[in-house]
Amino acid sequence: GQQVMQIPQYQHVQEGEDFTTYCNSSTTLSNIQWYKQRPGGHPVFLIQLVKSGEVKKQKRLTFQFGEAKKNSSLHITATQTTDVGTYFCAGLFNTGTASKLTFGTGTRLQVML
Amino acid sequence: SQTIHQWPATLVQPVGSPLSLECTVEGTSNPNLYWYRQAAGRGLQLLFYSVGIGQISSEVPQNLSASRPQDRQFILSSKKLLLSDSGFYLCAWSWESGYTFGSGTRLTVV
């Protein structure tokens, strides 16, 4: 079955440091999505990447989709305490009847003052 | 605008008791609907998805079932809960660019 692996599992950074989480799929993806889940909350959609090699930015967040559409990364520049949470990538695999998201294992980010 | 409602927010149930979690979507028609479960500190596991009324696909064999009696209603059920059914249950609907999740139900089976 489809698998999406994500590393690291945990990351502690000092406020102001950068942070990157990496996502890898065993098979080619239709697209990849990123979600953020605050402690105690539900996942919230951040962005979708569709094209091979695509790069998108949202303020301090930079998202990349690999050329082979099998990997992706999320980079946060100069982390802030508001960035705390778990970041999930999710790969979209078309099944013919419904597109199903397979979530990565997530990276829990802790930002220390 | 589209909204998704999920209830209850928390639930504590004894082993062997039945379960019914409800999810409704507003502002869209014929949505694809999903039930995910998240164990504590873990990722999200797809349990069921539905592309229309009465159409349910199960992703993993388990003690749970799902039903879609109306276009915008998705129900997760169990006849007899197990301890291993504890977790954070999330309903979601998909749109062209992503998924929108409900606020989730934290189920503790005791």
β-bridge mates for residue A62, sequence order: A57, A75
What is the three-class DSSP state of A98? coil
Contact assignment for A48 to B43 by CB distance below 8 Å:
no
pLDDT in tens, A91-100: 987 666 566 7
User: pLDDT > 90: what percent of chain A?
Assistant: 83
What is the three-class DSSP state of A82? helix
Averaged over A9-14, what is the pLDDT?
96
| Per-residue pLDDT at A3 | 84
| Per-residue pLDDT at A26 | 87
Contact assignment for B43 to A103 by CB distance below 8 Å:
yes
How far A79 CA lies from chain B's nearest CA (Å)? 22
pLDDT at B16 over 90: yes
Angle (CA) A85 B28 A94, round 5°? 65
How far B72 CA lies from chain A's nearest CA (Å)? 16
- Select from A25, A42, A47, A48 the residue whose CB has the most chain B CBs within 10 Å, as the one to mutate to test that interface: A42
Contact assignment for B32 to A48 by CB distance below 8 Å:
no
DSSP 8-state code for residue A51: S
Listed in order, strand segments (DSSP E) in A1-113 are 4-7, 10-14, 19-25, 31-37, 44-49, 55-58, 61-65, 71-76, 85-94, 99-103, 107-112
For A88-103, b/e burial (b = at least 16 CB within 10 A) is: bbbbbbeeeebbbbbb
| Per-residue pLDDT at A98 | 63
| Per-residue pLDDT at B41 | 75
pLDDT in tens, A34-85: 999 999 999 999 999 999 999 999 999 999 999 999 999 999 999 999 999 9
pLDDT in tens, B82-106: 999 999 999 999 888 789 999 999 9
| Per-residue pLDDT at A1 | 66
Spatial distance between the Cα atoms of B11 and B31, rounded to a whole number of angstroms: 26
Lowest model confidence (mean pLDDT) among A15-19, A93-97, B31-35, B53-57: A93-97
How far B91 CA lies from chain A's nearest CA (Å)? 10
| Per-residue pLDDT at A2 | 74
Averaged over B1-24, what is the pLDDT?
94
Contact assignment for A98 to B57 by CB distance below 8 Å:
yes
Average pLDDT of every residue of chain B: 93
